[in-house]
Structure 1
Amino acid sequence: MRYDPTTRDLAERRRAKGKTDHEIKRCLKHYITGQLYRQLENPPLTG
């Protein structure tokens, strides 16, 4: 939440909606988990 501009933007949007830092971190974990799942389901083609 300190360095990545995309993460900072997401955190600021959540903060504007009245979310706490704890809730924002939970949202970020959910977002990261979704990205990781999509990468595991569709690995890049090599070769």
Structure 2
Amino acid sequence: MKIKKLLTIGLSLSIFIASCPISANALDKIEPIKGADKYETAGIIADK
């Protein structure tokens, strides 16, 4: 029983640690999209 808990915790922790750098790098690529009104903003998004 202890081995199953240890393996489960270890696997969960390793998955969490592996996913952290990916999510941290995603925040660097955010660029603001601003238009004069909602229609211009929608047009800018559509052009991408």
Q: Greater CA radius of gyration, 1 or 2?
A: 2
Length-normalised TM-score, structure 1: 0.46
User: Which structure is higher in RCO with an 8 Å CA cutoff and minimum separation 6?
Assistant: 1
Length-normalised TM-score, structure 2: 0.46
